[in-house]
Amino acid sequence: MKKIINLHLINGEVRKHEIEINKVIVVGYGGRNIDKIQEHIDELKELGIAPPPSVPMIYPQNIEQLNFSNECHGSKFSSGEAEYVLFHDGQEWLFTLGSDHTDREVEKENILKSKLICDKPLASDFWRLKDLIEDWDTIILRSYVTSNSERLLYQEDTLEALLEVDTLLEKLNKLGEIDLENTVIYSGTVPTKNGFVFGEKFEYEVEQPKLNRKIKHHYSIVN
């Protein structure tokens, strides 16, 4: 898959940049803090979803699941997960925002299948990873769900809650993911504020406060 993205530079310039995507993987349970990971596992356990056999986990996805639009195919029991996303374009690491939209009913029986049957929304705006490293732990990941016409703050945490890039790539290497060029990598998510909400709209963003900039995306859920 080839895609024209908007590459935002720290001087405010925006460049059109073509990328070629050859592979998509979703990292599950990608938290840095074991207590935060357990919090997410406990959320899933309340829905009858068994704990993972190891942490982190890798769930390969189909390239066709990537969805840059404002509609996402899911189900009435599906929900989004705001995540940072990494991509290496052959020259450098880029950073954007994605949602690991997942069917929670199917997840009770088969986690991989629950992810494969839903689209994987992705923003078209990207930043250079090298422009983020110094500010990494202050960058904010946030999402909102609209359910029954009520907009709720769904997730909010800094990237301090998730694995740092070097650590994540090292763990992926140990799990056999050695060549990650042209691979979209969903990082894993942060806990919800008040448990899962199955809404009709999902809005999510990543904010770099130091540079006063955000990447934002949203989608309606189509059953």
Q: What is the pLDDT of residues 62-99, one digit of tens each?
A: 999 999 999 999 889 999 999 999 999 999 999 999 99
Q: Cβ contacts of residue 137 below 8 Å, gap of 6+?
A: 158, 159, 160
In contact, 94 and 87? CB cutoff 8 Å: yes
Instruction: Please tell me the predicted confidence (pLDDT) of residue 223.
Output: 83
The verdict on whether omega for the bond into residue 56 sits within 30 degrees of 0, i.e. cis, is yes
Q: What are phi and psi of 115, to 5 degrees?
A: -90, -35
**Domains in the chain, CATH or no CATH each:** 2-222 (3.90.850.10)
**Centroid of chain to Cα 103:** 15
CA distance 200 to 161: 27
CA distance 192 to 144: 10
Total number of residues shown for the chain: 223
27: alpha, beta or left, given left = phi > 0 and alpha = psi -120 to 50?
beta
**Six-digit token pair at 200?**
């009709």
123-136 confidence digits (pLDDT tens): 999 999 999 999 99
Read off the pLDDT band of 57 (50, 70, 90): confident
Instruction: Look at residue 36 and tell me whether its pLDDT is greater than 80.
Output: no
Instruction: Look at residue 50 and tell me whether its pLDDT is greater than 90.
Output: no
- Can you give the C-alpha Rg of the chain in angstroms? 16
Instruction: Look at residue 40 and tell me whether its pLDDT is greater than 80.
Output: no
70 burial (CB, 10 Å; 0-12 / 13-18 / 19+) is: exposed
**Six-digit token pair at 106?**
């199917």
23 burial (CB, 10 Å; 0-12 / 13-18 / 19+) is: middle
Read off the pLDDT band of 7 (50, 70, 90): very high
First and final C-alpha spacing in the chain: 25
Instruction: Look at residue 34 and tell me whether its pLDDT is greater than 80.
Output: no
CA distance 6 to 9: 10
- What is the rounded average pLDDT of the residues 9-17? 96
- pTM, 2 dp: 0.92
Q: Cβ contacts of residue 111 below 8 Å, gap of 6+?
A: 28, 49, 52, 57, 59
Q: What is the identity of the amino acid at 12? A: G
CA distances to 51, 79, 104, 125, 188 from 75, in Å:
23, 8, 9, 27, 21
In contact, 61 and 176? CB cutoff 8 Å: no
184-216 confidence digits (pLDDT tens): 999 988 889 988 899 999 999 999 999 999 999
